[in-house]
Structure 1
Amino acid sequence: MNILKTFKKNNAPQNLLLICMILAGIWSLIQLNWQAFIAWGCCFVLFVMFCFQRDHSNYLMDQLRELRRERLGFDKEDLE
């Protein structure tokens, strides 16, 4: 479900890569090329890991900004 939320964001290169990966996975299954499908699975797992890592890093950065704002009394404009 989170993959669909990530897909809806405005990430055109990432969405294009995801579409190409899905087509490659389907094609490897059609041809019954199990080695290619296993390699595709590994690449897909890495793709998902990097997407979630980026989202998690953005979440942590937002929390850090909020804590700085609370502790130091900065306005939002001062931090950016």
Structure 2
Amino acid sequence: MQTVTLDDAQKKLVTLVEQASLGDAFIITRSGNPLVKVIPVGPVPESGIKRLGFMADEIHVPDDFDQMNNTEIEKLFADG
């Protein structure tokens, strides 16, 4: 893995980022000490981040979900 000083990274940032995006990660150092590691993010799904429906057909919510344990809940919050 390539190591680049902070000064060199500032001068060659565009080139270094292009190389990293192709899989050539690198480390930026200052005074010989590693500061950060630059790695490619990876491919982003064409449709973006899909959050809803990712577990379709794996989880089933009962039709009366909003009424479950209604009696017990009412007892907990009843006056008296």
TM-score, normalising length: structure 1: 0.24
Greater strand proportion: 2
Higher helix share: 1
Structure-2-length-normalised TM-score: 0.24
